[in-house]
Amino acid sequence: MDQKYPCKLNVVLFGKTAAEWRKENPDLSGNMRDYASIQELLVLSNLESMNAYFIEQQVSQPERMKRLREIAETQLRNLAGNASTAKLENLHNQPQLPEK
């Protein structure tokens, strides 16, 4: 993996590092991903896969960041108002215990 030039997916998607988020939200527990929307979590999962692919293809860190940002913007636009992601969001907001 390209450890010298890691791609910070939090910065790509959320526009800030985890440390910056913690500093801005001292009263919240957990991490920024715990407060992400379903759409953001779906895009983040895709970005992780795409980042691994770009690393395998030896794409430089700055170029990976640029491409991943473009992908994130497109995917977030496509998921906005999507009926399927709205259903997922409703399920996410109403967790239920499994039946015995």
Report pLDDT digits (tens) over 43-86. Answer: 999 999 999 999 999 999 999 999 999 999 999 999 887 777 77
Share of residues in the chain with pLDDT > 70 (%):
85
Q: If you ran DSSP here, which 8-state letter would residue 57 be given?
A: T
Q: Is residue 2 part of a domain?
A: no
Q: How many domains does the chain have?
A: 1
Q: Sign of torsion, CA 4 8 9 12?
A: negative
Q: Is residue 3 part of a domain?
A: no
Neighbours of 19 (CB within 10 A): 9
Q: If you ran DSSP here, which 8-state letter would residue 98 be given?
A: P
Q: Is residue 39 part of a domain?
A: yes
Cβ(72)–Cβ(39) under 8 Å?
no
Which range of residues forms the domain containing residue 69? 9-93
